Structures are given as structure tokens and as C-alpha cells.
Amino acid sequence: MYPYLLFIGITTLMIGWIWGVLYAPEDFQQGNSYRIIFLHVPASIFAQTIYYFMSICALMHIVWRVKLAAYLIKSAAPIGAMITFIALFSGSIWGIPTWGTWWQWDARITSTLILFIMYLGILTLHGSFSNLEKADRLMSILVIVGVVNLPIIKKSVDWWSTLHQPASISTSGSSIDPSMLMPLLISIVGLGFTLISLGILSSRLYILNREKNKKWVLEHV
Amino acid sequence: MFDIAFNTFDEIINMKGHGIYVWLVYSISILIIVLSFTITRMRIKNICKRININNASG
Amino acid sequence: MLRLIRTESFKLSRKLKSWLGPQLILVLVLIAFPLSIDISQYDLDKFYFSIIVISLMMTAFISTEGMFEEDFEDGSLEQEFLLEQDFYKIVLSKMLIYVFFIGIPIALIGSLFLITNGADFDDLPKVFSILCLSNILLFNLFSFGNALSIDKGAMLGVLTSLPLALPVIILLGRAVRTIQYGEGFFSIIILMSGISLIVLAIMPIVISAALKTHID
């Protein structure tokens, strides 16, 4: 399943990015620098989506003691940290030609930085304990408590006056032209499949590492 | 919608002065994603090798 | 519950450095900061509240640093759990005592320093109430971080709890604007009171779950 998902992900992502970077028309205000949107917006969306996924897994681990759920959290956290870093990095570079600054202490950017620190905190917390069952449980508790931070990130643009532009895509529609919206949506789908395949690979690695002394692993390998 | 937005290859690279930002972001992000896949796959191979060695010796 | 509150207040009152130390640190920071920057009083007045908020945050973190560690290491946490069979009461009583002994005094110190640096004396009750409510939030969040990293050092506690505390700081920034501009204070105080009550009710449950994991 993983090779098919990876193939679909990479193909869709390349279609979205090539369409957006080469074929989409230039923005009349931002010029060609807006083309970073086809990476930045999907990365921002998945930075939060991965955390929501982790919080569902954390709930499953805490309530129903599903061991696999904890493994999925531990596999997803580095991917979440990576994609949040990409979102921050791409946003910073985009800010230079658009706002004249690579960093601004406004609500959305700061909240995304907080999310990145939370991912690092989760990974550090889990790595600090030699007793992995204890580490899984504490990590799950932290993930569930941290999930309250996500609505603050999502709504921050509405609650505070900010330099960051409002959401490009929302449940009430989109503010951008279809010639730019289509490659953006395709990029979102492509990045989603790519990250799912990376997640499958990462969880395979973690499960093998955690269960390496078990009989089923010896038979499987 | 499907007309390429640039006329020459130089225009694609330069993007009216914004090319450095766009290509920097995409190249580093692609590098990070590719490295993630590569490192994960390498580590899976290493762990399978270690398990096989332990299995054979034990 | 009363027994626990009495025990915790006795324990904290005996550890002078635990409750007096953070207050002295706060005073030191609030005095030292203006000395370290060469700007006019007028400019200092404009952002002195931010200095107080950050100093309060640091003080709250320092105060809750050893909240559970000593009890965990000497086994009294486990003993209390066996007696009470319920961590929630232990954590809630600790929290109430820490907020009473440390949180309220540092809120008062912060309010007084703000009055001496340009704020109206009439705003003292507003500032004090906002700082008290924010201390309840910060103490809960930092003690959560310390409960997670009980014997792993302060650095891990900071990394886990600081991202949760930063939205509180953002809310405080909004609160100070309402005092400066004189409108919207009532709605912000209601919002902060509601959040503080929810956090005070729920956070001890979460902290209990973390402590139980350490003891199991």
C-alpha cells in the first residue's frame, strides 16, 4: 500500500507544484513570490492536521490502552515537526519580498512556532524516559493537553490584528482565483498522500524497533 | 489556465527578482522530504539486518 | 481535603526558600530591569506591564519547579496516594496553597510596581485581579510540566509547559490593552475567570494522571 500511496502523493504533488509554479498567473500585488503558497499553505494545514491525528491516537491510548496508538504518535511527531519547520521556513522566506521582514511576532506565526516547540517537547519528553510504557502514557497526556492550543492557532488571525493575511481557504469559500486555487488544492492532496506514506514508513520503523524481540517480528523479517 | 506564465528559461529562474526566494524554499523543502524518506528507509534496512543477524546467531 | 490543605500549608511554610525565594526574585527583576536600560520614564511606563507579565511567568515557573519532586523522591507522594486513593485532592490542595502563598503575593507585588510606574491607582484592583487570574493559569500549566518531568530536570518542564503558557501571555497582553484604553475590561475579566475556573477544575485531573503514571 505504501508504494502506491507514495506514487500517488508524489505525482499529485508534482502536478500541483509544476502547475502552480510555472503555469499559474502572476499575482498583481506580490508578483511571483506568491508561488510559495503552493508549499506553505499545504505545510501549514498538515502541521495542524498531524497534531489532531496525534491527539486522537493519544485519546485511544489513554482510554482504551491501544499500544499501536502510542506508536503512531511517536512516529507522527517527527513528521509533524518537520512539516511545521517547512511551514515556518517557507513563511519566513515568503515574508522577505512581501512584508520586508523574515519574521514578525504576530499571532499566527508565533502560534505556529509554539506548535513547533510543542512537537519538540513531545519528542524530548518521550526520549527522556527509559521505561517506554511510561513514556508513551506521559506523551499521550501531553498531546491531549496541547490540543487546546490548536484552536488558538486557527482562530488567531480572527482574534488579533495581524500582518498575516487571513485564511486563503475556509468553509465559507476561498478568496483566491480558481487559476491559483486548483493547483493549491492539488498540492494539498499531494502533500497529504506523501506525508501519509512517510507516516507509514516511519511507523514501520518504530514498530520494528520497539517490537524487535518479538516472535512475529522475527518471522516477518 | 494552461499557458506557461514565463517566456524563457531565464525568466523561470529569475521570476522578476523573486526566483531566489521561490526556488530556495522549494529546493530546501524537497531536500528535507527526500532526506526523511531516505533516512527512514535506511534505518528500516539496518534494523532488519540487525534482527536477521541476531536471529541467525541466537 | 482540609487535612491535605493543612499539611501542604505547613510543608510550604517550613520551606522558606520555596515561597519567599520566588517573590524576592520577582522584586529583584522588577527593580533591576529599569536600571539595565537607559530610557526615559515615559517610554518605560509604556511597556512596564510586559516586564511584569514576563517576570510573573518566570516566577511562577521557578515556584512550581520542585512542587512534586521532593514528595516523589522521599515517597510521601505515594503515601498520600495510598491514604487518599485519589491524586486529585492532593494536587488541588497543593495548587490552592501555592496560589495562596505565592501567586497572590506576587500578583500584589506586580500590581504595586505597576502603580509606581505610571498606572493609575484606581486601576490597582483591575490589575491585581488580572494578575491573580493569570497566576492561577500559569501555576496550573507549569505544575503540569513539572508533573510530566518530575525527576528529569527543569529544562524538560519548560519545554513541555511553556508552549501552553504562551497563549496565556497573549491573553494578558489583550487584558492590559483594555485597562490602558478603559473599555472591554469586564468582558476580558469574565473570559479569564471562566478559563481559570475550567483550568483549575480540569488541570488537577490531568496532573494526577501524570503523577499516577510515575508512581505505577
Q: What is the ipTM of this complex?
A: 0.88
Mean pLDDT of C94-122: 84
Residue A156 has pLDDT above 70, yes or no: no
Question: CA A112, A58, B42: angle at the middle one, nearest 5?
Answer: 75
Residue A125 has pLDDT above 60, yes or no: yes
Q: What is the pLDDT of residue A164?
A: 54
Q: Does B57 touch chain A (CB under 8 A)?
A: no
Mean pLDDT of A152-173: 55
Closest partner residue to C164 among A110, A128, A149, by Cβ? A149
Q: Does C201 touch chain A (CB under 8 A)?
A: no
Residue A155 CA to residue A116 CA, distance in Å, equals: 17
Q: What is the pLDDT of residue A49?
A: 94
What pTM was computed for the model? 0.87
Q: What is the pLDDT of residue A170?
A: 55
Partner-chain contact C166 A115, CB within 8 Å: no
> pLDDT digit string (tens) for C156-183?
888 888 888 877 887 887 787 777 777 7
Residue A160 has pLDDT above 70, yes or no: no
DSSP codes joined into one string, C134-201 = HHHHHHHHHHHHHHHTTTS-HHHHHHHHHHHHHHHHHHHHHHHHHHHHTSSHHHHHHHHHHHHHHHHH
Name the residue among C182, A48, C39, A205 with its Cα closest to residue B37.
A205
Closest partner residue to A141 among C174, C209, C216, by Cβ? C209
Task: Tell me which of A145, A147, A150, A152 to substitute to probe the interface with C (most C C-beta atoms closer than 10 Å).
Answer: A145
Mean pLDDT of C176-198: 83
Residue B31's closest chain A neighbor by CA?
A86
Q: What is the pLDDT of residue A91?
A: 92
Q: Is A24 left (phi over 0), alpha (psi -120 to 50) or beta?
A: beta
Residue A133 has pLDDT above 60, yes or no: yes
Closest partner residue to B51 among A26, A202, A212, by Cβ? A212
Residue C112 has pLDDT above 90, yes or no: no
**Cell representation of residue C131:** 494578575
Residue B10 has pLDDT above 90, yes or no: no
Residue C201 has pLDDT above 60, yes or no: yes
Partner-chain contact B25 A31, CB within 8 Å: no
> pLDDT digit string (tens) for C16-72?
777 788 888 888 888 887 777 776 766 766 677 788 888 888 888 888 888 888 888
Q: What is the pLDDT of residue A173?
A: 57
Closest partner residue to C160 among A110, A142, A144, by Cβ? A142
Q: Between chain C and chain A, are at least 3 CB pairs below 8 A?
A: yes
Residue C195 has pLDDT above 60, yes or no: yes
Partner-chain contact A124 C159, CB within 8 Å: yes
Chain A residues with CB-CB distance to B28 below 8 A: 89
**Smallest CA–CA separation between B23 and chain A, in Å?**
9
Q: What percent of chain A has pLDDT over 90?
A: 57
Chain B residues with CB-CB distance to A90 below 8 A: 25, 29
Read off the pLDDT band of A189 (50, 70, 90): very high
Residue A120 CA to residue A126 CA, distance in Å, equals: 10
Partner-chain contact A221 B29, CB within 8 Å: no
Read off the pLDDT band of A4 (50, 70, 90): very high
Residue B28 CA to residue C59 CA, distance in Å, equals: 40
Read off the pLDDT band of C125 (50, 70, 90): confident
Closest partner residue to C164 among A122, A138, A146, by Cβ? A146
- Count of other CB atoms within 10 angstroms of residue B44: 18
Residue A12: what residue type? T
Q: What is the average pLDDT value for chain C, to the nearest integer?
A: 83
- Chain centroid offset of residue A72 CA: 14
Q: Does B41 touch chain A (CB under 8 A)?
A: yes
Residue A84 CA to residue A63 CA, distance in Å, equals: 28
